[in-house]
Amino acid sequence: MMYLGWLRKTQRYLEPSTSKRASSERCAVDARLGALQEKRQWLQGLLVRKPEGVLDKEMRKVLRDPEFRKNIEILAARLSDAIDLDRRGSLCPKVSQRLNVVASELCNSFCLETLLDTRRWMEELLLECSDPSLLRQRTAEEYAEEETTLLTWRRLYGAELPEILSDIPECSSKRVEESTRRRLQCLVAARFSLYRPLRARRRLRKIYLCYMGPALLVAGLLFGAAIGLQSNAKVGDVLLAAAAGASGAALGGLLKFRDEVKLGAQVREFAPFYYMQVLVGVVFGLLIDLIFAAGWLKFAPGTAGIGVIAFAAGYSEPFALGIVAKVMERAAV
């Protein structure tokens, strides 16, 4: 009896402490979930159209970039994965805290570089503590990706179905899970290591286009003016050749954009090179007019014929280069 009395008394002292500890743990979990949900809602709010004045002008300009929006959507999806992991009890508190810190850094310094760094760190942190459900989800997403500028699962590991996606019971073992986790981690690391040099080269090409484009424009204007100022030159023929070459180049570039340009990086690079190609078409058209005026070819078309050939030269570079090759052969004789 004395022992039972002592045990009940001890329980009365222990129960409040245990209850307090459980309550404290629940509060900590709720706080982590609340912080992750807050960051996710902030990202999703950026994608919603805001009234004028809510976002500053620079931020609105940034958010019109499809690359920004795509990465924001992916980042919001990763935060949703983290919230689901936390609710299932698979997310380590330290990882959850680190995710919050990384997301807060993005809020304090919002730019594409920080956005990409945040996405990479979140993906790596989530892969470290992913449960089988999330591993299968991420593997299915990566395996389904067929066409992209950077690495895909199929390009890195082949088209064979990953073991974790198979219905065979043995494919749900710990060995398969760890192997899949390592493969996903390698894929994420390789993808981001390739992406930065790609973006740097794209920016460098655009910088040099800013110098080469005006140079070609000035040269083309001088070329056209020099042809037009000749005593026997017809200004109408010169303008027709230049306009036909530009139109051919514009149409050829548009058809190429429709049929061949499919990836995001190609689309972002296409516009400046498209304008440059139109200038190239103008120069080719002027060259065609000058060649026929010099009488260096066997036939001498009229005004309409010059326009047709100039259009073809602007549309097809191989055609224009073939004419230039014939002129070089004629000049070498």
Look at residue 19 in the predicted model and tell me its pLDDT: 52
Look at residue 183 in the predicted model and tell me its pLDDT: 92
User: Over 60: is that where the pLDDT of 10 sits?
Assistant: no
Q: What is the pLDDT of residues 200-250, one digit of tens each?
A: 888 888 888 888 888 888 888 888 888 877 756 677 888 888 999 999 999
User: Over 50: is that where the pLDDT of 51 sits?
Assistant: no
Look at residue 131 in the predicted model and tell me its pLDDT: 87
Q: Which of 110, 2, 99 has the alpha carbon at shortest distance from 58? A: 110
User: Over 70: is that where the pLDDT of 53 sits?
Assistant: no
Look at residue 100 in the predicted model and tell me its pLDDT: 83
Q: Which two tokens stand for residue 122?
A: 């979140």
Amino acid, single-letter form, for residue 2: M
Look at residue 57 in the predicted model and tell me its pLDDT: 67
Helices 264-294 and 235-259 pack at an angle, to 10 degrees, of 150
User: Over 90: is that where the pLDDT of 21 sits?
Assistant: no
The reported pTM is 0.69
User: Over 70: is that where the pLDDT of 304 sits?
Assistant: yes
State mean pLDDT over 307-318. 89
**Helix, strand, or coil (residue 19):** helix
Residue 42 pLDDT level (bands cut at 50, 70, 90)? confident
Percent over 90 (pLDDT), the chain = 8
Query: Which sequence spans correspond to the domains of the chain?
Result: 20-198, 230-332
Look at residue 246 in the predicted model and tell me its pLDDT: 92
User: Over 70: is that where the pLDDT of 181 sits?
Assistant: yes
**Which residue is listed with tokens 């699962």?**
153
What are the DSSP calls for 76-96, one per residue? HHHHHHHHHHHHHT-S-HHHH
Q: How far apart are CA 247 and CA 133, in angstroms?
A: 55
User: Over 80: is that where the pLDDT of 109 sits?
Assistant: no
Q: Which two tokens stand for residue 163?
A: 């073991």
